[in-house]
C-alpha cells in the first residue's frame, strides 16, 4: 500500500467504528427507555383485598382423603341395611328366588355384595335375559323401594342382580371410604356380568344394564366403554357432566369428590380425571342401544345438565339412542322430578303411579324386551 492511500483507509475504518458506536449507544438508550417505560406486572386482585374468613370457610373444599365422610354414623347405616334385608324373604316368598351373593371385582381388591332376584322356575340353559340394576346416591345402596319394579322384572322372566359397589353405605367405614365415583365402581358393577355368566340359565348375550341418577351415570359409563358385556342400557335422570355439575352444586357437594383417594382435587386441579369420568364426553363411543329419560323439574340432576346428554345423543347417535324429556312430571320427594318414575310407598312397597311413571316404565320394558329378545 502506498503512503498516499494509507491515510484514506484509516479514515474509512475510523468512520465505520464511530458509526457502529453511535448505533450501539442509540439502541441501548432506546431499550433502557423502553424498560423504564414498561408498566409493572399487574398484581392479582386476590392479593390486594383482605380475606373474608367466613366466605373463605364457605368455599373451602378439602382434598384430603382423611376428610371423606366426616361425621357419618357407619353403624346406623349397617343397622338400616340389615333391617331392610330382613324384609326380603317375606316379600319374595312364593314369587321370587332371592339370595344375597358376592363376587370379586375385576379390579382385584374387593368382594362386591349384591342382591340376586330370579324366577322361581328356571326355563332351561340360556333361557333368561338378565339385568344389572345399579343403585344411585354419591354414597347410597340398594334401596328396598326398588322392589315393586324388580318384582315386575322377574315376572317378565329377567334375572336381576343389584350390586352394592365400593362406596355403598351399610358395610362399614372402610368400604364406605373406598368410593371411586366414575372409576373403579364402574368395574365393580360390570363385574356382575361375570357372576351372571356362572348361572347356566342366563344368556350372556342378552344382558342389560339400568339405573337412576348415579346408577344411570354408571350405566352410561359402562356402555360407553369400548369393551363391555351389555346388549343395551337404560339411564334414567343420569348424572352426565361432572365438570358442570360440581360447579353448579357448590362446595358441600364438591367435598365428596375432592376427598376421594383416587381424585384428590377439584376439576380445575384434575381436569383429565373429571373429563374421563363424565359420560357427556364419551358419547361417540356408544355401540349399543340406550334409553334415556329426564325430567325438566329435576332438582338433583338438573335439566340443564341432563339436556346436554340428550342433545348429544340425539345429534350424534340418533340410530342408537331413545330419549324422552318429561315436562314437569308429578313430583316425588325432596328432589321434585328426580324420582318421577320411582314413586313407591316406603311402607307398603306399592307403586304410587302417575301418568309419567306409567309411561316411563312401559317404554323401559318395551325397550328391553326388544333389545334383549332371543335371537
- Rounded mean pLDDT, 100-123: 97
**Residue 40: per-residue pLDDT:** 67
**Residue 3: per-residue pLDDT:** 46
- Rounded mean pLDDT, 353-370: 98
d(CA 168, CA 113): 10
236, with CB counted inside 10 A (0-12, 13-18, 19+), is: buried
Tell me if residue 326 falls in helix, strand or coil: strand
Q: Which helix (H) or strand (E) holds 128?
A: strand 128-134
| DSSP E strand stretches across 191-287 | 202-212, 232-236
Pinpoint the alpha helices (H) of 68-226: 74-85, 88-92, 147-155, 173-176, 184-190, 192-196, 214-223
Are 165 and 189 contacting, i.e. CB atoms less than 8 angstroms apart? yes
What's the predicted TM-score (pTM) here? 0.88
For the chain, the average pLDDT equals 92
Residue for grid cell 340359565? 201
Instruction: Give whole-number Cα distances, 289 to 162, 213, 232, 239, in Å.
Output: 21, 19, 5, 18
Say if residue 217's pLDDT is above 80.
yes
Percent share of the chain, pLDDT over 90: 86
d(CA 126, CA 128): 6
Q: Can you state the angle between helices 242-249 and 251-258, rounded to 10 degrees?
A: 130
Question: What does the pLDDT look like over 16-63, one tens digit per residue?
Answer: 555 554 544 555 555 455 555 566 677 777 777 888 999 999 999 999
pLDDT band for position 352 (cuts 50, 70, 90): very high
**Residue 42: per-residue pLDDT:** 74
d(CA 296, CA 337): 7
**Residue 44: per-residue pLDDT:** 76
- Rounded mean pLDDT, 89-96: 96
Q: How many CA within 13 A on the CB side of residue 290?
A: 31
Cell of 13: 475504518
Q: Which helix (H) or strand (E) holds 218?
A: helix 214-223
* Among the ranges given (4-8, 167-171, 214-218, 334-338), the one the predictor scored with the smallest mean pLDDT: 4-8
Percent share of the chain, pLDDT over 70: 89
d(CA 327, CA 331): 11
Say if residue 186's pLDDT is above 90.
yes
Q: What are phi and psi of 104, to 5 degrees?
A: -85, 130
Cell of 242: 361432572
Say if residue 222's pLDDT is above 70.
yes
Question: What does the pLDDT look like over 267-307, one tens digit per residue?
Answer: 999 999 999 999 999 999 999 999 999 999 999 999 999 99
CATH number of 64-371: 3.40.50.1820
Say if residue 2's pLDDT is above 90.
no
Instruction: Give whole-number Cα distances, 255 to 164, 217, 246, 266, 311, in Å.
Output: 22, 19, 9, 9, 29
Amino acid at each position: 500500500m502506498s503512503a498516499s492511500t494509507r491515510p484514506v483507509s484509516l479514515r474509512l475504518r475510523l468512520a465505520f467504528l464511530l458509526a457502529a458506536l453511535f448505533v450501539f449507544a442509540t439502541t441501548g438508550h432506546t431499550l433502557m427507555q423502553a424498560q423504564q417505560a414498561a408498566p409493572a406486572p399487574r398484581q392479582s386482585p386476590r392479593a390486594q383485598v383482605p380475606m373474608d374468613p367466613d366466605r373463605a370457610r364457605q368455599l373451602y373444599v378439602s382434598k384430603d382423603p382423611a376428610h371423606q365422610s366426616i361425621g357419618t354414623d357407619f353403624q346406623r347405616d349397617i343397622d338400616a341395611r340389615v333391617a331392610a334385608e330382613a324384609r326380603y324373604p317375606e316379600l319374595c316368598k312364593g314369587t321370587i328366588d332371592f339370595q344375597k351373593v358376592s363376587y370379586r371385582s375385576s379390579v382385584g381388591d374387593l368382594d362386591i355384595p349384591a342382591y340376586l332376584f330370579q324366577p322361581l322356575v328356571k326355563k332351561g340353559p340360556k333361557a333368561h335375559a338378565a339385568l344389572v340394576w345399579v343403585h344411585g346416591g354419591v354414597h347410597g345402596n340398594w334401596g328396598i323401594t326398588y322392589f315393586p319394579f324388580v318384582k315386575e322384572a322377574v315376572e317378565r322372566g329377567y334375572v336381576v342382580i343389584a350390586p352394592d359397589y365400593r362406596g355403598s353405605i351399610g358395610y362399614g367405614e372402610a368400604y364406605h371410604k373406598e368410593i371411586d365415583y366414575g372409576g373403579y365402581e364402574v368395574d365393580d358393577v360390570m363385574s356382575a356380568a361375570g357372576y351372571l355368566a356362572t348361572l347356566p340359565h342366563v344368556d350372556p348375550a342378552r344382558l342389560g344394564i339400568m339405573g337412576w341418577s348415579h346408577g344411570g351415570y354408571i350405566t352410561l359409563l359402562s356402555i360407553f366403554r369400548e369393551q363391555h358385556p351389555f346388549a343395551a342400557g337404560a339411564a334414567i335422570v343420569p348424572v352426565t357432566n361432572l365438570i358442570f355439575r360440581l360447579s353448579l352444586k357448590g362446595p358441600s357437594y364438591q367435598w365428596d369428590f375432592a376427598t376421594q383417594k383416587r381424585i384428590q382435587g377439584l376439576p380445575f386441579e384434575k381436569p383429565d380425571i373429571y373429563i374421563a369420568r363424565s359420560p357427556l364426553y364419551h358419547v361417540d363411543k356408544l355401540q349399543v342401544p340406550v334409553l334415556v329419560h329426564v325430567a325438566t323439574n329435576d332438582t338433583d340432576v338438573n335439566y340443564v345438565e341432563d339436556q346436554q346428554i340428550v342433545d348429544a345423543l340425539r345429534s350424534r347417535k340418533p340410530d342408537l339412542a331413545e330419549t324422552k324429556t318429561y315436562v314437569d312430571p308429578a313430583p316425588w320427594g325432596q328432589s321434585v322430578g328426580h324420582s318421577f318414575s320411582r314413586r313407591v310407598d316406603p311402607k307398603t312397597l306399592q307403586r304410587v303411579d302417575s301418568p309419567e311413571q306409567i309411561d316411563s316404565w312401559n317404554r323401559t320394558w318395551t325397550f328391553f324386551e326388544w333389545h334383549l329378545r332371543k335371537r
